[in-house]
Amino acid sequence: MATILEMRGITKEFPGVKALDDVNMRVEAGEIHALVGENGAGKSTLMKVLSGVYPHGSYDGDIVYDGEVERFRGITDSESRGIIIIHQELALIPLLSVAENIFLGNERARGGIIDWHETEARAADLLARVGLSENPKTLVDDLGLGKQQLVEIAKALSKDVRLLILDEPTSSLNEQDSQKLLDLLTEFRSRGITSILISHKLNEISRVADTITVLRDGATVARLDCADGIDEDDIIRAMVGRALDDRYPDKIAHATDDIALEVRDWTVHHPVHADRRVVKDVSFTVRRGEVLGIAGLMGAGRTELAMSLFGRSWGRDITGEARINGAPVDISTVRRAIDAGLAYATEDRKSYGLVLGDTVRHNVPLARLEAVADGMVVNRRREGEVAERYRERLNIKSRSIDQDTMDLSGGNQQKVVLSKWLFADPDILILDEPTRGIDVGAKFEIYTVIRDLAAQGKAIVVISSEMPELLGITDRLYVMNEGRFVGEMPTAEASQERIMAAIIRSGERTA
């Protein structure tokens, strides 16, 4: 087989973070190539380099496609060469028809006038090729997610795709739709279309992939050939095979026997699709002085669980019981949740954590403004002192407390979010992906703060997709998958293999 794509020595840096470090990847023509790695390993970044989202010049290294070195300046360049990427978040316009979506930006038109007859006829052809029997005039909004995914693929086919990249295509599909999609990929293979499949679902990968590239921490760690008879364990080992060194502060156990937060039979429904249960009968406890971890893949329902606990900020038809320090509490609004001693630091600091256009001084006291005010009047001296105190304590690198938070690096922004919740002085602090997208040094500082808080008797819940991080800083772990808690283990007995195994076993059981 000929090599269709070779990415050589790709290095991509963002301010303060090296996202890709000398990554190599080779894809043969007409194969299904799987790209695996933990969240944050650099898979999406690599695909953005390939598709021209990060244009030539913004990275180092070469993309050799079909024997030529390519210099894509944007997504139109890569698409014109037959490289089509389908993102996890589908790029369809819900209120346009299937046919309109397929030819969006590529309209069947003469002199600017759309030929609807040809549009619909060709759309029908393409839909038949992906095995979707829907009227091309149907609105995309009226289709389920599985069918929408197929429409995306039909759209790719309309552009004469030669290399199809699918980013987590089955993450929101049910088993039947996933099966259908994978069958389609194998059919494409027989017709000579090459695919790159990014997926967390190792059972799917071992079923359809021919070769596998494994990324870890922005570097290629393995290229596995499925003809050699590899199994899921081999993939897992390659994905997570990294030793825990001193990237974590010393872990001294402070957990007491006092239960700070107890949640029983917590069930949450999707805010739009009310019949979908996103969190299913979850029960757990966290003790004072304990750092509890919740492991799981993206979309497992961890953020939804945390936000629904924190003042019902997510979901609808929430049922279950929450007790803080042994007593039932009212946490039905964010204000009440904060007053009850709960805090939630978001995974998405830019959208949900910070007022980006405002200063450090104004962001830090936001969740407990009354504490820096005399009655209704903000005492600017106290406000400044508070902001200054947390700037020093968490080592926030800013020109002054009067700098806007949007000008800070990700790690320092995260520290501002953390400062806000430390100042709110909760008993239970839920941290959702507290180190996402920040550099190693800032990570260590945040881990230290987390352990210090535990030493002060706070109960900490850490949600993270980085398993080494959970193993490094928590005392006890729950594993969550598809809305359920599927495993619980003391961190001392946990390993990445055990966590992964819990996830995969539970997935197979429900399948």
Partner 1 sequence: MSDIIDDTARAPAGEQARAGWRFLKTHLREYGILFALIAIMAFFQIATGGILLRPVNITNLVLQNSYIVIMAIGMLLVIVSGHIDLSVGSVLGFIGALAAVMIVHWNIPYPIAGVLCLAAGALIGMAQGFWVAYFRIPSFIVTLAGMLVFKGLTLWLLAGQSVGPFPPQFQLISSGFLPDIFAVEGMNLLSFLIGLAVALGLVALAIRTRQSQARVGRPEEPFAFFAAKTAIVFFGIVWMSWLMADFRGLPNVFIVMALLIAIYAFVTGRTTVGRRIYAIGGNEKAAALSGINSRRLVFLTFANMGMLAALAGLVFAARLNTATPKAGATFELDVIAAVFIGGASMAGGVGTVVGAVVGAFIMGVMNNGMSILGIGIDYQQVIKGLVLLAAVIFDVVNKKKG
Q: Is residue 272 close enough to count as binding partner 1 by CB under 8 A?
A: no
Distance CA 490, CA 480 (A): 15
Separation between Cα atoms, residue 325 and residue 341, nearest integer Å: 10
Asked if residue 64 binds partner 1 (CB under 8 A), the reply is no
Nearer Cβ to partner 1 (176/332): 332
Q: Which residue among 109, 244, 355, 455 contacts partner 1 (CB under 8 A)?
A: 355
Q: How far is the CB of 367 from partner 1 (least distance, A)?
A: 4
- To partner 1, the closest distance from the beta carbon of 39 in angstroms equals 22
Question: Contacting partner 1 (CB under 8 A), which of 165, 202, 294, 367?
Answer: 367
Q: Determine if 362 is a binding residue for partner 1 (CB under 8 A).
A: yes
Residue with token string 């304590």: 393
Nearer to partner 1 (CB atom), residue 275 or residue 374: 374
Q: By CB under 8 A, what part of segment 405-444 binds partner 1?
A: 420
Q: Which of 54, 310, 390, 478 binds partner 1 (CB under 8 A)?
A: 310
Binding flag, residue 344, partner 1 (CB under 8 A) = yes
Q: Which of 37, 136, 293, 311 binds partner 1 (CB under 8 A)?
A: 311
Residue whose CB is less far from partner 1, 182 or 340: 340
State the greatest distance between any 2 C-alpha atoms of the chain, in Å, as a whole number: 75
Q: What angle do CA 155, 159, 160 make, to 5 degrees?
A: 120
Candidate residues 89, 110, 377, 456; the one interacting with partner 1 per rule CB under 8 A: 377
Span of 50-58, 78-86, 194-202, 344-352 interacting with partner 1 by CB under 8 A:
344-352
Q: Is residue 352 within the footprint of partner 1 (CB under 8 A)?
A: yes
- Interface pick for partner 1 out of 137, 273, 316, 380 (rule CB under 8 A): 380
- Residue from 227, 376, 456, 509 touching partner 1 (CB under 8 A): that is 376
What 3-state class would DSSP assign to 321? Answer: strand
Element containing residue 44 per DSSP (H, E): helix 43-51
Name the residue nearer to partner 1 (CB basis): 185 or 401. 401
**Applying CB under 8 A, does 227 fall inside the site for partner 1?**
no
DSSP string, 466-503: -HHHHHHH-SEEEEEETTEEEEEEEGGG--HHHHHHHH
Q: How many residues bind partner 1 (CB under 8 A)?
A: 36
Retrieve residue 188's tokens.
Answer: 């494409």
Query: Residue 387: what are its φ and ψ, rounded to 5°?
Result: -60, -40
384 near partner 1, rule: CB under 8 A: yes
Considering beta carbons, is residue 64 or 318 the nearer one to partner 1?
Answer: 318
Considering the complex, state which of residue 33 and residue 362 has its C-beta at the smaller distance from partner 1: 362
Count Cα neighbours of 477 within 13 Å in the Cβ-side half-sphere.
Answer: 30
Q: Please state the φ and ψ torsions of residue 122, each to the nearest 5 degrees.
A: -70, -35
Q: Is 338 in the site for partner 1 (CB under 8 A)?
A: yes
Residue with Cβ nearer partner 1 (44 or 405): 405
Residues 475/248, Cβ–Cβ less than 8 Å: no
Q: Is 51 in the site for partner 1 (CB under 8 A)?
A: no
Q: Least separation, in Å, of the C-beta of 401 and partner 1?
A: 7
Among residues 115, 187, 358, 488, the one that binds partner 1 under rule CB under 8 A: 358
DSSP 440-469: HHHHHHHHHHHHHHHHTT-EEEEE-S-HHH
Nearer to partner 1, 218 or 365 (CB): 365
3-state secondary structure of 324: strand
Q: Does 113 bind partner 1 (CB under 8 A)?
A: no
Which residue stretch of 46-54, 136-144, 395-403, 472-480 sits at the interface with partner 1 (rule: CB under 8 A)? Answer: 395-403
The CB-side HSE value for 101 (13 A sphere, CA atoms) comes to: 29
Cβ 414 to partner 1, closest distance in Å?
13
**Cβ neighbours of residue 310 under 8 Å, at least 6 residues apart?**
331, 334, 337, 342, 343, 344, 430
Smallest distance, partner 1 to C-beta of residue 329, A:
15
**Measured distance CA(271)–CA(274) in Å, rounded:** 6
Torsion of CA 9, 298, 27, 155, to 10 degrees: -120
CB 261 within 8 A of CB 458: no
Binding flag, residue 335, partner 1 (CB under 8 A): yes
How far, in Å, CA of 282 to CA of 480, rounded?
Answer: 9
Among the listed residues 146, 296, 353, 426, the single contact to partner 1 using CB under 8 A: 353
Segment contacting partner 1 by CB under 8 A, of 183-191, 233-241, 350-358, 479-487: 350-358
> Could you write out the DSSP letters of every residue in 332-400?
SSHHHHHHTTEEEE-S-IIIII--TTSBHHHHTTGGGGGGGEETTEE-HHHHHHHHHHHHHHTT---S-
* 145 or 371: CB nearest partner 1: 371
Binding site for partner 1 (CB under 8 A): 310-311, 313, 333-335, 337-338, 344, 346, 351-358, 362, 366-367, 369-370, 373, 376-378, 380-381, 384-385, 388, 400-402, 420
